[in-house]
Structure 1
């Protein structure tokens, strides 16, 4: 644990070498990167730090702030400074890609590169956004998160996870390595509802900043992603970023489970002096 200006951030660190930071998507915790094998794969040659984003896992999300990608990036940047981490490659999955992008905009001189997996980058209609607005409203959301939401989330969990992985199968031990009871806690349900409810507003503002990116970016998406349209988001961002590299793989939304070795290679390329210069 590390306390940063009143926010307790939980992280897991392993390995030695050029630093890599891992930022998970919505609804899960840092253990998602352990379940995929990516954490251990990277730790063979890198100093790897995986965070629970604010409000997820064991990290706190204090009230009174709108935890936008930019605000989360600011706090994680402070944590990295406290940990003595300089010029990491930042890997973000799904919602975590927005935090990674914000880190690249805020501190380009201190980021070696970004590896963005299955991201949602542009404002497009999402059915789940209005459905999560009540859960994000203080007071109303608190009642829902301590009554009906855990029950509904428990019934829907396996179907949601299958959709996340489709068309690939769900690993047998996924809900053991990524503890389901952590995913269903009221505090984490609140954080997930907030991130979902404000995601369109977040990308509407952030898309104006993409052109400012000065760091190399590798974009990886599953061609069969049923959660985020890879053409409308990943391919479009690649066209907008002249320094980016695009990799489409045969997978669904959870590409880090499908191709961890390819993602590790992308990190290696950006963390090397030649790759960073390119």
Structure 2
């Protein structure tokens, strides 16, 4: 028994050292490409392109600004707008201080303060997946700031989710730290190809996505942040589910009609019914990662939001 315990502890130690080495290497190989804004005790990394009316991009869980960059959406939108894409707290090169819950509401307040520091008093906000929850919270809590919302592949109403259950242990204090620094990076690295197929399906993973820094996403700190956000999905949706009618700005909802991660009818279509002035675009033969596989359609949604022409009709 003692020998088995010793071997197990040694294996954990080796895994922790390996993951630390890979994490440091990932950060050396992928230095910040943008700027930083200090908001209280949080240093947020962001990229900025273009001029004109402000468009703010908020990525999904486990991701970072390179998602929007590799898709081409940043460059496309920058031809018409001033584009600001944030690494949300704990992702990419942004801080995620411990000792608080980084709920959509907490992140909405943080992004609002960051935008004020950047001199932005009005913005179109696009959120993808978990970022859509942050965008929605911004629209509810900071309506004077949010000119319009584009909500892509979002999760808005509580439902049973196996990923939320699986993330409970990695999200716990101490236990989560041990898991995130030892076995979790190895497990996620092993299932990465399968996870991408599910996220992008039925479309193939685009060649451009090779520019996404996978090793940054596999750092223990980012995996820990991702687990926390997955564990918060259901309770946050439960809290916010009755507030969507408070969104008074134009709301453009976009989703792939074959999303394998989020039920479009139970989420995006239901939100469309709850927000009378919203428009809903189901993108045919697309899955969760529509910013990557249907970039032009997402860009069209930004233009629609900017024009204020979001309508009741559900577009196909």
> TM-score with structure 1 length normalisation?
0.96
CA gap 1:128/1:277 in 2 versus in 1, 3 angstroms: closer
Inter-partner Cα distance in structure 2 for 1:148 and 1:98:
29
Structure 2 unaligned blocks of 5 or more: 1-35
Question: Is 2:211 aligned against 1:177?
Answer: yes
Question: Is 2:90 aligned against 1:45?
Answer: no
The 5-angstrom pairing of residues 201-240 of structure 1 reads 201-240=235-274
User: Residue 103 of structure 1: SS of its match in structure 2?
Assistant: helix
Q: CA RMSD in A?
A: 1.4
**C-alpha offsets along residues 148-193 of structure 1, whole Å, 9 cap, x if unaligned?**
001101101111111100000001241x321011000011001000
1:105–1:209 CA contact under 8 A, matched in 2:
yes
1:112–1:276 CA contact under 8 A, matched in 2:
no
Structure label with greater radius of gyration: 2
Inter-partner Cα distance in structure 2 for 1:218 and 1:3:
30
Q: How many residues align?
A: 276
Inter-partner Cα distance in structure 2 for 1:189 and 1:44:
34
1:113–1:276 CA contact under 8 A, matched in 2:
no
Inter-partner Cα distance in structure 1 for 2:114 and 2:296:
28
> TM-score with structure 2 length normalisation?
0.85
Question: Is 2:56 aligned against 1:21?
Answer: yes
User: Residue 170 of structure 1: SS of its match in structure 2?
Assistant: coil
2:251–2:310 CA contact under 8 A, matched in 1:
no
2:279–2:311 CA contact under 8 A, matched in 1:
no
Question: Is 2:146 aligned against 1:146?
Answer: no
Inter-partner Cα distance in structure 2 for 1:249 and 1:165:
13
